Amino acid sequence: MFQRPASFWEENRSLGSYDILIVGAGMVGLWTAWHLQRLAKGLKIGVVDQLPSGQAGASTRNAGFACFGSPTELLDDLHRENRSDIVERLSWRYQGLQSWRETFGEDALGWVPGRGFEIFSTHQSEAWQNVQSNLDSLNQLAAESGIPGEVYQKSIPPIPSLIGCISIEHEAGLHAGKAHQTLKAAVEEHGAHILQGIEVPPMASWSKEENAWAIPTTQGVLKAHRIILASNAWSGHILDRKDILPGRGQVLLTDPIDHLPYAGTYHADEGYLYFRNVGNRLLLGGGRNAFRSQEETLSGETTVNVQAHLESYLHEVLLPGFEVKVSDRWAGTMAFSPDGSKMPLLESTDGITLIARMGGMGVALSPEAGRKAAQLALEV
């Protein structure tokens, strides 16, 4: 990107004065603005993002799964976390997916109705047995979370070399770029100012003047009575905190494939691998768990080793015997906790509300995360 050092004039001017300034124009920041506009009409809201218009850290770079939880991932969560947290999160995700559709309609989101699936390959016979014997309790967990019907059901594997498959009702695909664009337009239409290409510096350089925060940036000073940090992976850097870790996610997209045997959104390996069809192309992502420390980064570049890991899964497990060419690769940045908890972080102090740690299902979480951040910011 073309960048120059700031001039004195650029730095020393007012860039805007707001009742509430949201840092981060990803799905969470934008849903937060959307809820604020309805909870407290007439507020002057600014949303600032360091990236150029139309881009976000993860929200425009994800895989477009409208999903709430695959069987092996939920069983793994049950080993690590309180059941009540898992139920709460599942319900946020399910409600979040309803909010996207009810608010904007399927066309505006590039929604692809269908079902989700989890597949099991030959080396996963133990996991496959475990899921089959826990199907009733998984459906019970979904029911407790307000998700209707028999959500998890045994299904026929899409290719004969896979040993098992579970279908997941109510999951679907969407076009992440379109969904983000639609949400952004709705928030702008209701009067929020969206400022792109402006980096908010670490909080140590902010000051408080007459009950309002003043944030110096290279393009001028931003002022606001309240700040909502929806900067997800970058929040640890802004606040100098070690409990918000960045996690890069990488994906690849193939050229069109004749007779592609997959239609829908697919999970594998406790959610660490995921793939879906995009027309007759296959989008595959994940593999972060095999390169954990390397992928704990804010860098948005793809790497040779993760891409090779994905390609070998593509050729050996998903499409053995198929002629497949990869045409696109990209990466985005999520945020995680150091202890593996997947509960988003929501807290408020001194006029600053933090909503962060959206991991791999932030699309579904974002409407409810935004609602809760907006409510908390207005309370304090």
Q: Measuring CA to CA, which residue among 278, 84, 297 is closest to residue 178?
A: 278
Bridge partner residues of 328 (DSSP): 253
How many Å is the Cα radius of gyration of the chain? 21
Residue 247 CB, shortest distance to ligand FAD, in Å, is 8
What part of residues 98-117 is at the interface with ligand FAD (CB under 6 A)?
A: none
- How many residues touch ligand FAD (CB under 6 A)? 43
Q: What share of the chain is helix, strand, coil (3-state, %, to 5)?
A: 35, 25, 35
Stretch that binds ligand FAD, among 36-44, 72-80, 99-107, 227-235 (CB under 6 A): 227-235
The answer to whether residue 162 forms part of the interface with ligand FAD (CB under 6 A) is no
Of positions 264, 271, 332, 367, contacts ligand FAD by CB under 6 A? 332
CA angle 314, 315, 316 (to 5 degrees): 100
Stretch that binds ligand FAD, among 8-16, 115-123, 226-234, 371-379 (CB under 6 A): 226-234
The answer to whether 51 touches 198, Cβ cutoff 8 Å, is no
Cα separation, 158 vs 165, whole angstroms? 8
- What mask, x for binding ligand FAD by CB under 6 A, covers residues 233 to 252? xx---x----------x-x-
Give the three-state DSSP class for 211: coil
Residue 42 CB, shortest distance to ligand FAD, in Å, is 25
Cα separation, 171 vs 264, whole angstroms? 9
Residue 250, phi-psi category: left (phi > 0), alpha (psi -120 to 50), beta (remainder): beta
Residue 184 CB, shortest distance to ligand FAD, in Å, is 11
Of positions 21, 56, 141, 142, contacts ligand FAD by CB under 6 A? 56
Cβ distance to ligand FAD smaller for residue 164 or 249: 249
Residues that bind ligand FAD (CB under 6 A): 23-29, 48-51, 56-59, 61-65, 67, 199-200, 230-234, 238, 249, 251, 285, 332-334, 358-364, 366
